[in-house]
């Protein structure tokens, strides 16, 4: 077997210019902004919409599901913290896999990131649509016809609001209206404030009795609920894509990741407890725009629900924007490496943004948003994300062996137990996504491997520089 084509961490960092002053991107983000960026990418459809699915699966024991999903994320967050601090570049898991396990794995990870970013844009947009409906309903009493606000799987024809939010995000990204640090911070604070207010209102109506029976579906229900809950935590890894824009990435990226996971876990468990404690698991389970419904029930008016719906619409739109931005950026790194066509790295001289890449991403992922049911896209996104996360845990182990002297500002505790547990939890949640998702995922993986062999491997820039084994080459600054 030929040795894998590895891109050494020093070369990755040198190419990105991450340790140089005056490289392409500006270093503007401090710890607070990194945390806001994380909250921006994490908190959205998963808690505002997905909560009712997890509750339908697990009942009040959904709190356990949220904790289990958080534990999976914590192990993996340690891995991202170690690699994000040691290799501060913007390719995230794709770059870590390139350094730790080689080009073929990196390509497949990049391919799976299309599920974590692209397909999740579709899923998040479908969730947005529910709250737009709720908002219109409570503010102007208008209810969009189902034919135009849901895909065929959910009893409609086309989900227009979902397509619209993707188109709007594409326009903003093409024009170069990147979220400014201030807008990111404002939206993050708004999201947190809305959820904290929800918890406060929910707890005023808390009744113990609503929590019993605590686990009506037993362990199987908790497992299924955990997979559903996991979606709401995805996005903490996106903090590592800011490696080239953080003021002090080596110190702040690991801290920001861990702060975000801690904050979000506390908040999600509190939201779940407040919702179920107020009106009971049966009333929450499977209900569209569930958080607004709970507040309307507790306050006996539609004003509170309208405010929650407004918060959700803003929160979820910001996730669409952040995640689509992340997707175009990952495709840019893969394109620069020669692994996918160059159209994705082309930056328009007029707007300084990757116009073609952004429009392709928006066009492709608007399709599932328009026609697919939410749970189908969520499951695919979840399994793809878990696969990349398992690889990142393995990359930690590979890099500790291959590059023992790499400067690491953060080290996963209890190595190698933690990354191994990380892999185990990821595999367990992948297993829980069910047979249909596995079959779709297997087809997707095969397509990715075929593309690598037919295109990526032959066009790789790394291979052009070092036909033999890149690992033997001294990294050079470019
Ligand atoms: N790569 C991502 N950040 N994907 C978006 C994840 C979805 C987000 N956790 C939500 O609940 O809406």
| Interface confidence (ipTM) of the complex | 0.97
- Is residue 455 over pLDDT 70? yes
> Can you give the pLDDT at residue 472?
45
> Can you give the pLDDT at residue 138?
83
Tell me if 33 is assigned to some domain.
Answer: yes
CA distance 139 to 167: 24
Average pLDDT estimate for 324-339? 90
Q: What is the CATH number of the domain that holds 393?
A: 1.20.1740.10
CB burial string 435-444: b at 16+ within 10 A, e below:
eebeebbeeb
Average per-residue pLDDT in the chain?
A: 89
The answer to whether the CB of 42 is under 6 A from ligand 1 is yes
Please tell me the distance between residue 374's alpha carbon and the centre of ligand 1 in angstroms: 13
Average pLDDT estimate for 139-163? 89
Tell me if 9 is assigned to some domain.
Answer: no
CA 130 to each of CA 126, 137, 310, 326: distance values in angstroms, whole numbers, following the listed order: 7, 11, 12, 24
Tell me if 474 is assigned to some domain.
Answer: no
The answer to whether the CB of 44 is under 6 A from ligand 1 is yes
Tell me if 277 is assigned to some domain.
Answer: yes
> Can you give the pLDDT at residue 180?
64
pLDDT tens digits, 424-440: 999 999 998 999 999 99
> Can you give the pLDDT at residue 22?
44
CA distance 15 to 21: 13
CA 302 to each of CA 196, 291, 292, 305, 453: distance values in angstroms, whole numbers, following the listed order: 18, 12, 8, 5, 56
Ligand 1, atom 3, residue with closest C-alpha: 235
* ∠ Cα 33 36 40 (to 5°): 135
Tell me if 23 is assigned to some domain.
Answer: no
Residue corresponding to tokens 């207010």: 197
DSSP-derived 3-state class of residue 363? helix
Tell me if 18 is assigned to some domain.
Answer: no
> Can you give the pLDDT at residue 2?
66
Q: Which atom of ligand 1 is nearest to the CA of 127?
A: 12
Please tell me the distance between residue 123's alpha carbon and the centre of ligand 1 in angstroms: 9
pLDDT tens digits, 29-82: 899 999 998 999 999 999 999 999 999 999 999 999 999 999 999 999 999 999
Give the CA count within 13 Å in the CB-facing half-sphere of 276: 29
Please tell me the distance between residue 56's alpha carbon and the centre of ligand 1 in angstroms: 20
Q: Which two tokens stand for residue 119?
A: 């397909």
Identify whether the C-beta of residue 42 lies closer than 8 Å to the C-beta of residue 199: no
> Can you give the pLDDT at residue 208?
93
CA distance 310 to 435: 37
Tell me if 19 is assigned to some domain.
Answer: no
Name the residue of 72, 80, 115, 124 whose CB sits within 8 Å of the most ligand 1 atoms, as the mutation to test its pocket. Answer: 124
Average pLDDT estimate for 403-409? 91
- Is residue 378 over pLDDT 60? yes
Structurally, the chain folds into a number of domains equal to 1
pLDDT band at residue 478 under the 50/70/90 scheme = very low
Helices of type H across 87-119: 93-100, 103-113
The answer to whether the CB of 284 is under 6 A from ligand 1 is no
Average pLDDT estimate for 413-433? 94
Contacts of 80 (CB under 8 A, 6+ apart): 236, 237, 239, 240, 257, 392
Q: Is 444 left (phi over 0), alpha (psi -120 to 50) or beta?
A: alpha
Q: Which two tokens stand for residue 174?
A: 């093409």
Q: For residue 433, what are the domain limits? A: 28-466
Tell me if 475 is assigned to some domain.
Answer: no
pLDDT band at residue 477 under the 50/70/90 scheme = very low
CA distance 230 to 225: 9
Name the residue of 37, 38, 39, 45 whose CB sits within 8 Å of the most ligand 1 atoms, as the mutation to test its pocket. Answer: 45
Q: Which atom of ligand 1 is nearest to the CA of 381?
A: 4
């Amino acid at each position: 077997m030929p040795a894998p084509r590895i891109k050494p961490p020093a070369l990755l960092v040198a190419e990105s210019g991450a340790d140089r002053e005056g490289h392409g991107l500006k270093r503007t983000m401090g710890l607070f902004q990194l945390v806001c960026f994380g909250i921006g990418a994490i908190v959205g459809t998963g808690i505002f919409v997905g909560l009712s699915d997890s509750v339908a699966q697990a009942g009040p024991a959904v709190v356990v599901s949220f904790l289990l999903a958080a534990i999976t994320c914590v192990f993996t967050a340690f891995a991202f913290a170690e690699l994000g601090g040691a290799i501060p570049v913007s390719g995230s898991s794709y770059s870590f896999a390139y350094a730790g396990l080689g080009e073929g794995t990196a390509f497949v990870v990049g391919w799976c990131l299309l599920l974590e970013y692209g397909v999740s844009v579709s899923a998040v947009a479908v969730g947005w649509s529910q709250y737009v409906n709720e908002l219109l309903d409570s503010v102007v009493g208008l209810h969009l016809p189902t034919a135009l606000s849901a895909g065929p799987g959910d009893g409609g024809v086309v989900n227009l609001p979902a397509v619209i939010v993707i188109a709007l995000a594409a326009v903003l990204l093409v024009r170069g209206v990147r979220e400014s640090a201030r807008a990111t911070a404002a939206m993050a604070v708004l999201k947190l404030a809305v959820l904290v207010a929800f918890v406060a209102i929910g707890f005023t109506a808390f009744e113990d009795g609503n929590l019993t029976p605590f686990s009506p579906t037993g362990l199987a229900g908790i497992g299924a609920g955990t997979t559903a809950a996991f979606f709401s935590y995805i996005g903490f890894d996106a903090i590592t894509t800011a490696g080239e824009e953080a003021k002090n990435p080596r110190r702040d990226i690991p801290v920001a990741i861990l702060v975000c996971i801690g904050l979000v876990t506390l908040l999600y468990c509190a939201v779940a407890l407040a919702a179920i404690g107020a009106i009971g698991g049966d009333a929450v389970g499977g209900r569209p725009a569930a958080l607004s419904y709970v507040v309307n029930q507790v306050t006996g008016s539609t004003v509170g629900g309208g405010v929650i719906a407004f918060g959700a619409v803003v929160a979820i739109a910001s996730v669409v924007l952040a995640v689509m931005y992340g997707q175009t950026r990952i495709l840019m790194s893969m394109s620069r490496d020669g692994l996918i066509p160059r159209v994705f790295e082309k930056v328009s001289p007029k707007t300084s943004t990757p116009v073609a890449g952004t429009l392709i991403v928006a066009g492709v992922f608007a399709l599932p948003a328009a026609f697919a049911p939410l749970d189908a896209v969520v499951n695919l996104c979840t399994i793809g994300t878990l696969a990349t996360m398992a690889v990142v845990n393995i990359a930690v182990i590979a890099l500790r062996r291959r590059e023992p002297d790499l400067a690491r500002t953060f080290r996963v505790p209890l190595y190698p137990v933690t990354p191994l547990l990380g892999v185990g939890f990821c595999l367990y949640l992948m297993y829980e996504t069910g047979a249909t998702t596995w079959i779709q995922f297997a087809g997707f993986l095969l397509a990715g491997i075929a593309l690598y062999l037919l295109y990526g491997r032959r066009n790789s820039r790394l291979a052009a520089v070092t036909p033999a084994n890149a690992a033997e080459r001294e990294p050079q600054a470019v």
